[in-house]
Amino acid sequence: MVERRIPISVKEAVMRVMKFAKEGKKEEVSIYECNGRFLCEDIVANHDVPSFDRSAYDGFAIRSVDLKGASKEKPITLSVIDEIGAGQVCQKRIGEYEAVRIMTGAMLPSDCDAVVMFEVVKEGRENDQPYIIIDHEVGKGTNLSFQGEDVKKGKVLVEKGTKINPGIMALLATFGYEKVPVAKKPIIGIFATGTELLEVDEPLEKGKIRNSNAYMIMAQIERAGAIPVYFGKLQDVFTVSYEAMKEKLASVDILITTGGVSVGDYDLLPAIYKELGAEVLFNKVAMRPGSVTTVAHLDGKLLYGLSGNPSACYVGFEIFTKPIIRRYLFSSKPHLQSAPAILGEDFLTANAFTRFFRSTVSWKEDGLHTVPSGVDKSNIVTSLAFANALTILPSNSTGYQKGERVNVLLLEEEEGSEWPWN
Ligand code: AMP
Ligand code: MG
């Protein structure tokens, strides 16, 4: 007799999986190797930026008090007693009616309180002594970039769990992070199951298909920030599959299989989980594609039984595996980023289950628009190539009309959501 499975909601299924979410291990890597990695600690400003008042322009550092009353009719002459470039520090005291020639980024001499730009002074020289003539008043603080203006010491600049990008690289260098604390990448093992599967280098045979899921999942794992390890494909034979999974489980943080989780005669994963002694968290979710997605748990490790159908496999990974990986990488927003969008086509059939259709989203004048990226069936592989989002259509009896507001989950955004389901 075929087992009857009771579907649970997507939200409930995500919650059951996320009970096992935990932060991963930390490691330090050289700043040269950290781009694209995930921070495992907040980056806090360990000094003010800039750490001293400095000139914002090439010009002359002056004492604003000396220029009180300066005008076209009554210009004031200052003697230029020193010259400093960026990185140099003026060692002289600057007295009444004295100025220092200063370049952009150079530290403001402590006796001065403003800078006048080259363009607004008249320069001259008498007895080898340079001077400038200024015909207007200059307020205190003019043309300076002040200490702490960019950021004050102690401020949290980037939260842990953030993927390092070029701007963050600049911050790390600014604050002297020669070694950067990053999350260790979790190792995710993959088996593709199915006697019908051929490897990518094998010629097509009658009744067989090439294993596309393993390569797709490997790329999804990398996009999520983890390391994929492909263990090959397994025939639908219990003992071989069981032994292989049992052996490899020890070497990974998470084990993913594709295929074999349904109730067909050759769907062996339920029996394998039982034999392994794994606790099955769920084996039926009220979603399409991916309703047969099964997640089990054994000794602190999650085992994902994703559907063999390519689209279902893809969606199952993004909804249930990616957030576990991102939590491992210290993210507090581990789920796919959700965003409101306008539906670009009618979906007029009733849905008993929540649908996630593979979509292409694009910005138009009135906001984000979403259209299917191809045929919307779980066994379809071509629609995945153009999908940059999953459109969520919660179950209802009327379907959805073009122009309605829906939520989409963005597949390529680095910043995630705390909780994208209601
Ligand atoms: P299953 O979940 O094992 O019942 O497989 C569902 C469908 O997905 C079947 O048509 C399989 O042939 C197909 N399938 C299973 N594994 C893969 C794979 N690794 N790559 C592509 N298609 C697959
Ligand atoms: Mg199969």
Query: Quick one: 28-47+158-183 is in which CATH superfamily?
Result: Molybdopterin biosynthesis moea protein, domain 2 (3.90.105.10)
pLDDT at site 382: 86
- Within 6 A (CB) of ligand 1 lie 192, 194, 196-197, 209, 211-214, 258-262, 264, 267, 307-310, 379
* Range(s) of the chain covered by CATH 3.90.105.10: 28-47+158-183
How far does the centroid of ligand 2 lie from the alpha carbon of residue 357, in Å? 23
Q: Mutation test of ligand 1: which of 209, 266, 272 has the most ligand atoms closer than 8 Å to its C-beta?
A: 209
* Range(s) of the chain covered by CATH 2.40.340.10: 337-410
User: The CATH number of 54-145 is which of 3.30.390.30, 2.170.190.11, 2.40.30.170, 3.40.640.10?
Assistant: 2.170.190.11
CATH 3.30.70.580 fits 10-25+185-328, yes or no: no
Here the tokens at position 210 are 């090439």
pLDDT at site 381: 83
> Which atom of ligand 1 is found nearest the CA of 212?
20
The residues facing 233 across adjacent strands are: 192
Length of the chain: 422
Q: Quick one: which of 134, 125, 139 has its CA closest to 78?
A: 134
Level-2 CATH architecture, domain 337-410: Beta Barrel (2.40)
How far does the centroid of ligand 1 lie from the alpha carbon of residue 421, in Å? 28
Q: How far apart are CA 186 and CA 27, in angstroms?
A: 12
Q: How many CB atoms lie within 10 A of CB 224?
A: 22
Q: How far apart are CA 256 and CA 317, in angstroms?
A: 9
pLDDT at site 176: 96
In this prediction, what percent of the chain has a pLDDT beyond 90? 94
Q: How far apart are CA 275 and CA 26, in angstroms?
A: 34
Q: Mutation test of ligand 1: which of 309, 311, 384 has the most ligand atoms closer than 8 Å to its C-beta?
A: 309
> Which atom of ligand 1 is found nearest the CA of 196?
12
Gyration radius from the chain CA atoms:
32
Q: Mutation test of ligand 1: which of 202, 206, 258, 265 has the most ligand atoms closer than 8 Å to its C-beta?
A: 258
In this prediction, what percent of the chain has a pLDDT beyond 70? 100
202-219 pLDDT, tens digit per residue, is 999 999 999 999 999 999
Here the tokens at position 94 are 């600057």
User: In this structure, which amino acid lies at residue 62?
Assistant: I
How far does the centroid of ligand 2 lie from the alpha carbon of residue 289, in Å? 16
Q: How far apart are CA 9 and CA 216, in angstroms?
A: 26
**Residue with CA nearest ligand 1 atom 15:** 308
pTM beyond 0.85? yes
* Range(s) of the chain covered by CATH 3.40.980.10: 10-25+185-328
Q: 265 by DSSP, 3-state: which?
A: coil
Can you list the residues of the chain whose pLDDT is less than 70? 1-2
52-99 pLDDT, tens digit per residue, is 999 999 999 999 999 999 999 999 999 999 999 999 999 999 999 999
pLDDT at site 1: 61
How far does the centroid of ligand 1 lie from the alpha carbon of residue 209, in Å? 9
